[in-house]
Amino acid sequence: MLTEEGLPKHIKEQVKNFLCEQDTKYQVFPSKIQINNQLYYYFVFIPSQQTLVLRDDGSVPTKGEAKDIAFLASAYNTSYKHFIGIGFKWVKGHDRKGLEKLHVMLQSAVKSLEHQAPSQVKDALREFASLPAKIMEYQRKLEEAVEKGIDQAGITNDRELVTEEDYKIIREYNRQMVICAFEQNEIQLKTEKQRKIVLNYLVKKPRYWPLYLYLKWHDLKMLSKSKTNHFERDEVKQLISKEDRPLEENELATKKIKKLRNPD
């Protein structure tokens, strides 16, 4: 992993030429960046957050050349922050053991009510019963994406090199993570009606009250139209949209270009 202390002397001296009075320090991107067989260093000045790109020989590219490096470094770093921020939050978002027990209980309920519940209730129950397995599968994929994304960042830090292919890999893990979180929310919202049908049937059957109370407890923890965090849902949609855009259209990366201290 690159550090300010371990930089070559000619790079340190060149960076000093771009320091301003307001700068208290600078940070170097933890890996060199390779684009078109050329190696670059990427720097962020503190506290202005202005940036600088240098070739590995210490020469200074123009903004036209430097922008691709700034795009990649900013977007790569954003993906990593998503993993350790919202990614960790989503990993802890579902109780696997609780979902496994709910799955068993619902499958048992399907068998118990097969010959006595109205067809509408049975159809709704089958939809409800499929929910835990779907949530767990998306959770498994989400956790896998977070783990692989963090591992990918560790790999590039250790070898002190990030390529365009590395960016594509970490971006895809980030995309997988966000899509899984979105789908977990959507399937809960899509089964809200079915859950209500089942619960309204069970509450009228005293012999099934223990099952009703257990399912009701889980239902209260699931998303519904009235309980949806619309801000977070919209935020997830925006993340998916951003991950589908070409690198040069990434809004955060575009903002970084305006802060480059490289010459025109």
The residues spanned by each domain of the chain are: 9-77, 80-245
H-run or E-run covering 44: strand 38-46
The tens digit of pLDDT for each residue in 77-98 reads 999 999 999 999 999 988 899 9
Whether 70 contacts 261, CB under 8 Å: no
Q: What secondary structure letter does DSSP report for 249?
A: G
Backbone phi, psi, residue 62, to 5°: -70, 170
Backbone phi, psi, residue 26, to 5°: -135, 155
Which range is least confidently modeled, 62-76, 148-162, 194-208, 217-231?
217-231
Tell me which of 33 and 257 has the higher pLDDT. Answer: 33
Quote the pTM value. 0.87
The yes-or-no verdict on residue 142 having pLDDT over 70 is yes
Which range is least confidently modeled, 169-183, 184-198, 233-247?
233-247
Q: What secondary structure letter does DSSP report for 87?
A: I
DSSP β-ladder status, 161-163 and 38-46:
unpaired
Whether 177 contacts 142, CB under 8 Å: yes
Whether 48 contacts 260, CB under 8 Å: no
Strand partners, 53: 42
Helix (H/G/I), strand (E/B), else coil: 18: coil
Helix (H/G/I), strand (E/B), else coil: 105: helix
Confidence of residue 31 (pLDDT cuts 50, 70, 90): very high
The contacts found for 37-43 with CB under 8 angstroms, 24 or more apart, are 39/161, 40/66, 40/69, 41/2, 41/7, 41/11, 42/69, 42/70, 42/73, 43/15
The contacts found for 199-207 with CB under 8 angstroms, 24 or more apart, are 201/117, 201/118, 201/121
